Amino acid sequence: MTFNTHGLVCAHHHLYSSLARGMPTGESAVDFLSILKTVWWRLDVALDLDIIYWSAALGAAEAVLSGTTAIIDHHESPNAIEGSLDAIAAGCALVGVRTNLCYGVTDRWNDRSTLLTDGEQPRSMTDGARRGLLECDRYLSTGATGMVGVHASFTCSDETIEAAADLAIRHDTGVHVHVAEGQADSRAASRLKDFASDKWLLAHCVNLDQELSGTIVHNARSNMNNGVGYAHPASRSNLVVLGTDGIGGDMQEESRIAYARLRESDVTQTPETVWRWLQNAEKIFPQVANDTVTWNYDHMDSPWHTAFTTSNNAVDVTINNKTVVANSMLVTCDLVEIRSKAAEAAQRLFERL
């Protein structure tokens, strides 16, 4: 029995989606690809550095208040590429949470700012992808913790995928990429298999049709929300970790949802499977062993208790011996100010949509 755990890790986040909540709806989406087009690709082109900063601060604050001390983020802002990773890092530094950042390159917008037609594979690297790779290169060259981001193979040319893989090797890191999340990306494994390594972070892998090297990030709730089907992570030989795909940063909640979805698929499974996925994150973000979360619940070392306890909240959080949360309140910064600035930024963002 213990009240304490190490810091938790969100292994696949999109901090810019913190401000997407309540965004005006466009035409209604009918499948995964149209969700990307009507929500996320509408939103990301409207981001600027100030909006990115406040959305990161808000997402980081909400994460650490849930006991998550490290965020692995995947970011895209096609009209604010240069400096975007510094803006996210600064927003997270205000709160004091650990980060691993990347810019997710894509060729989905050609050099005339026209969106790729469905089923079309980009033939060569676009200017946007080139600038995204430069942003990753610049950020990683400062010594910051990060990866090289790729949106997904279906929106990238072979040239871009190969350049991203090479850049990751040069920085001794991996590529963070969406893999086979929906049917539109069902050829992901064959496009990526010549480049992937154990350092790669593979988000989703719902329709993965062959082995691919890397750690799989399972995002149970996001997959259900997008109606893409179950990823069956327990059947994979890869290391599996958990992410939220931008729906908050509460990893206890995410792991309970992942458990319910696992049991729906196979009632013989136990909470130990999802517990392992949650703990595996320390293998890819070992610094969280230096962080302590004290919870309002005393069975935090028990998979069978935590899987069924929906009210275990973080009370105190220290990151590298520095107090960030005390008595369930942020002490490093002013949450009221972050919420208010984020609300102003969201208003500006929504007016552009």
- Toward Zn ion, which CB reaches closer, 21 or 170? 21
- Toward Zn ion, which CB reaches closer, 6 or 13? 13
Residues 106-125 that bind Zn ion (CB under 5 A): none
Among the residue ranges 50-58, 85-93, 242-250, 290-298, the one whose residues contact Zn ion (CB under 5 A): 242-250
Among the residue ranges 167-175, 244-252, 315-323, 339-347, the one whose residues contact Zn ion (CB under 5 A): 244-252
What is the nearest approach in angstroms of Zn ion to the Cβ of residue 203?
A: 5
- Toward Zn ion, which CB reaches closer, 223 or 252? 223
Tokens of residue 100, six digits: 């691993």
- Toward Zn ion, which CB reaches closer, 99 or 332? 99
The residue nearest Zn ion at its CB is 245
Looking from the CA of 118 toward its CB, the CA atoms found within 13 Å total 8
- Toward Zn ion, which CB reaches closer, 285 or 297? 285
- Cβ neighbours for 219, distance < 8 A, ≥ 6 positions apart: 12, 203, 204, 242, 243, 244, 245, 254
Among the residue ranges 49-57, 245-253, 303-311, 339-347, the one whose residues contact Zn ion (CB under 5 A): 245-253
DSSP-derived secondary structure letter, 113: S
What is the nearest approach in angstroms of Zn ion to the Cβ of residue 40?
A: 9
- Toward Zn ion, which CB reaches closer, 62 or 245? 245
Spatial separation of the C-alpha atoms in residues 330 and 167, rounded to whole Å: 37
291 binds Zn ion (CB under 5 A): no
Query: Is residue 101 within 8 Å of 146, Cβ to Cβ?
Result: yes
245 binds Zn ion (CB under 5 A): yes
Among the residue ranges 190-198, 238-246, 247-255, 318-326, the one whose residues contact Zn ion (CB under 5 A): 238-246
What is the nearest approach in angstroms of Zn ion to the Cβ of residue 1?
A: 36
What is the nearest approach in angstroms of Zn ion to the Cβ of residue 235?
A: 21
Looking from the CA of 205 toward its CB, the CA atoms found within 13 Å total 30
SS3 59: helix
254 binds Zn ion (CB under 5 A): no
The answer to whether the Cα torsion of 197, 198, 200, 205 is positive or negative is positive
Indicate the burial class of 308 (C-beta count within 10 angstroms; 0-12, 13-18, 19 or more): exposed
Spatial separation of the C-alpha atoms in residues 325 and 320, rounded to whole Å: 13
Residues 177-206 that bind Zn ion (CB under 5 A): none
Residue count, binding to Zn ion (CB under 5 A): 1
What are the C-alpha distances in Å from 78 to residues 51, 81, 248? 13, 6, 23
Among the residue ranges 97-105, 130-138, 209-217, 243-251, the one whose residues contact Zn ion (CB under 5 A): 243-251
What is the nearest approach in angstroms of Zn ion to the Cβ of residue 154?
A: 14
Tokens of residue 189, six digits: 């494994």
The dihedrals phi and psi of 93, each to the nearest 5 degrees, come to -65, -30
Instruction: Summarize as ranges the residues that interact with Zn ion (CB under 5 A).
Output: 245
